[in-house]
């Protein structure tokens, strides 16, 4: 099939999922066209994958450049030039609206169905903003098919938007070949890792509080990967608690698989996570995830089996689990093996990508 994919191409879970989906589909022989405002970060050098940049004119008249319209025009143009079979948009706002317009532009000459995948913040935050609510609901209803990355997000979308459109849950996936456990462990201190865009919802300062608590009994260190609005607050707290020597802020990185497999546990103290892709990447890397009981996280982490769950803000409980794992080498290794097994048996690309392919076939063949 010839598939156009649109996402937010910068650092963020939805962009990563969309990019890795494109890579996996291309590996399976599909022709993939990314239609975005920048080259997706994890795309790498792939001459077999097309990239069509969306340029937005910035006339002085436009206080707000109409990206959504430029994207719709580009989608329609690419669809005609490359005879696309469908569009797959990640994140309802504004991508789903642009796809709807592109489908309308071409309606007289060719069919251009589109699939919308909901990732979370498009529904839980942005979509509930009253100014976006009606258009989000409309674009979901008008999609040829809708998928959600967790059952929790699917239920939430139906409740909040009262949509009649069937929504299929297709969980996020991981390339278990790329995200694999370390072959051997070099001598190093027990290490925790956190990876996010450092937005308030990620509660990055909780990671520092967990480190402070853990260090009462274990000489552990913490690697903070990523960047965003709350990095300054986390650095200040680390300084105030006298932890600056045991925490490293590594910023935005492209070598995520190597960083992950060199850690023992992942901290994900989020207030909300519709899925928690970082935890899945950690599990696949043989790193035990410590998450919170929110959103779709319990669909991914089975508490006490392949990771631990605690309540949001309960840094004492999260630290207790971390300290136990970091001192009990055999127990930690057993849980890491269970985490890897869950990633392979429930979320590997071989299991999940065919679900998208089946959905594309249904959408393309529908009349």
- Residue choice 3, 6, 9, 12 for contact with ligand GMT (CB under 6 A): 12
CA distance 349 to 63: 43
CA distance 306 to 63: 50
* 260 contributes a contact to ligand GMT by CB under 6 A: no
Minimum CB separation of residue 107 from ligand GMT in Å reads 30
* 273 contributes a contact to ligand GMT by CB under 6 A: yes
- Residue choice 19, 147, 157, 172 for contact with ligand GMT (CB under 6 A): 172
Q: Residue 354: how many CB atoms within 10 A of its CB?
A: 11
- Residue choice 4, 9, 13, 226 for contact with ligand GMT (CB under 6 A): 13
- Give the range of 34-42, 71-79, 103-111, 119-127 binding ligand GMT by CB under 6 A: 119-127
* 40 contributes a contact to ligand GMT by CB under 6 A: no
- Residue choice 3, 5, 6, 17 for contact with ligand GMT (CB under 6 A): 17
277: its two tokens: 């892709």
* 276 contributes a contact to ligand GMT by CB under 6 A: yes
**144 in Cβ contact with 114 (< 8 Å):** yes
Per the document, the length of the chain is 367
Of 120 and 127, CB closest to ligand GMT:
120
**87 in Cβ contact with 75 (< 8 Å):** yes
* 36 contributes a contact to ligand GMT by CB under 6 A: no
Minimum CB separation of residue 188 from ligand GMT in Å reads 28
Of 12 and 289, CB closest to ligand GMT:
12
* 98 contributes a contact to ligand GMT by CB under 6 A: no
* 6 contributes a contact to ligand GMT by CB under 6 A: no
* 20 contributes a contact to ligand GMT by CB under 6 A: no
* 274 contributes a contact to ligand GMT by CB under 6 A: yes
**285 in Cβ contact with 339 (< 8 Å):** no
Cβ-proximal residues to 294 (8 Å cutoff; 6+ apart), any chain = 270, 271, 272, 273, 312
Of 159 and 184, CB closest to ligand GMT:
159
- Residue choice 19, 36, 121, 284 for contact with ligand GMT (CB under 6 A): 121
Of 230 and 273, CB closest to ligand GMT:
273
Tell me, by CB under 6 A, how many residues bind ligand GMT: 19
12: left (phi over 0), alpha (psi -120 to 50) or beta: left
Minimum CB separation of residue 172 from ligand GMT in Å reads 5
* 277 contributes a contact to ligand GMT by CB under 6 A: yes
- Give the range of 12-20, 214-222, 236-244, 350-358 binding ligand GMT by CB under 6 A: 12-20
CA distance 320 to 307: 13
**Interactions with ligand GMT, residue window 178-237 (CB under 6 A):** 197, 199, 201
Of 68 and 105, CB closest to ligand GMT:
68
* 14 contributes a contact to ligand GMT by CB under 6 A: yes
* 152 contributes a contact to ligand GMT by CB under 6 A: no
* 343 contributes a contact to ligand GMT by CB under 6 A: no
CA distance 332 to 30: 40
Burial of residue 156, with CB atoms counted within 10 A of its CB: 0-12 exposed, 13-18 middle, 19 or more buried? buried
Binding site for ligand GMT (CB under 6 A): 12-14, 17, 119-121, 149, 172, 197, 199, 201, 272-277, 295
């Amino acid at each position: 099939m010839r598939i156009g994919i649109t996402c937010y191409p910068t650092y963020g879970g939805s962009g990563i999922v969309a990019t890795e989906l494109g890579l996996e589909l291309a590996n399976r022989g599909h022709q993939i066209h990314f239609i975005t405002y920048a080259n997706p970060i994890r795309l790498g050098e792939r001459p077999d994958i097309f990239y069509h940049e969306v340029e937005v004119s910035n006339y002085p008249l436009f206080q707000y450049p109409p990206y959504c319209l430029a994207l719709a025009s580009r989608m329609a143009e690419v669809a005609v030039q490359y005879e696309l079979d469908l569009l797959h948009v990640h994140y309802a706002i504004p991508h789903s609206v642009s796809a709807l317009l592109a489908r309308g532009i071409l309606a007289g000459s060719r069919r251009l169905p589109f699939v919308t995948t909901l990732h979370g913040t498009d529904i839980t935050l942005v979509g509930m903003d009253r100014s976006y609510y009606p258009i989000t609901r409309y674009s979901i209803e008008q999609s040829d098919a809708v998928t959600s990355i967790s059952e929790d997000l699917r239920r939430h979308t139906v409740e909040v938007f009262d949509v009649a459109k069937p929504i299929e849950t297709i969980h996020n996936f991981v390339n278990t070949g790329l995200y694999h456990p370390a072959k051997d462990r070099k001598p190093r201190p027990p290490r925790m890792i956190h990876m996010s865009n450092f937005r308030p919802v990620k509660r990055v300062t909780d990671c520092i509080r967990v480190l402070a608590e853990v260090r009462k009994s274990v000489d552990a260190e913490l690697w903070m990967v990523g960047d965003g609005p709350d990095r300054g607050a986390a650095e200040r707290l680390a300084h105030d608690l006298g932890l600056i020597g045991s925490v490293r802020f590594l910023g935005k990185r492209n070598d995520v698989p190597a960083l992950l497999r060199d850690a023992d546990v992942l901290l994900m103290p989020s207030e909300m996570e519709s899925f928690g892709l970082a935890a899945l990447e950690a599990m696949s890397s043989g790193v035990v995830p410590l998450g919170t009981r929110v959103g779709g996280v319990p669909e991914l982490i089975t508490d006490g089996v392949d990771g631990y769950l605690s309540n949001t803000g309960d840094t004492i409980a999260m630290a207790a689990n971390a300290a136990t794992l970091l001192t009990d080498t055999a127990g930690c290794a057993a849980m890491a093996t269970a985490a890897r097994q869950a990633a392979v048996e429930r979320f590997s690309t071989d299991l999940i990508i065919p679900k998208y392919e089946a959905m594309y076939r249904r959408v393309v063949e529908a009349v």
